[in-house]
Amino acid sequence: MSKVNHNRKHWPRWAWSLGLLAAGAGGARAFLLRGCWHTKMGWPIREGDHSYQVCLGCGIKRLFDDEKFRGYGPHGYDVKELIARERAMRMRQRRKTA
């Protein structure tokens, strides 16, 4: 008596790699959703001890370095999350150099 298991719950391999690809390209995903490459950023806005710029095309935000006068770090729609990520990164760097 042969019993073939047709109940395969696992996704095919190509579906996983497709998902990873989509998750990895955050900027490309934003482009697909909004059709925007964030080339037109507004003037920097002060938020506590950080500054950030807002994309005039889609409203995404990015932290801004006053001294170097340029944007840095990842894009995101939540400024508080961007600042938290930036703080965590700086702490990690400080620990490395100390």
Q: Are 63 and 51 in contact (CB under 8 A)?
A: yes
Name, in order, each residue with C-beta under 8 angstroms of 56's C-beta and a sequence gap of 6 or more.
40, 41, 42
Q: Which is nearer to Zn ion, 60 or 83 (CB)?
A: 60
Does 54 bind Zn ion (CB under 5 A)? Our answer is no
Does 57 bind Zn ion (CB under 5 A)? Our answer is yes
The residue within the footprint of Zn ion, chosen from 38, 50, 61, 62 (CB under 5 A), is 38
Smallest distance, Zn ion to C-beta of residue 25, A: 15
Which residue, 80, 34, 35, 48, is CA-closest to 61? Answer: 80
Does 58 bind Zn ion (CB under 5 A)? Our answer is yes
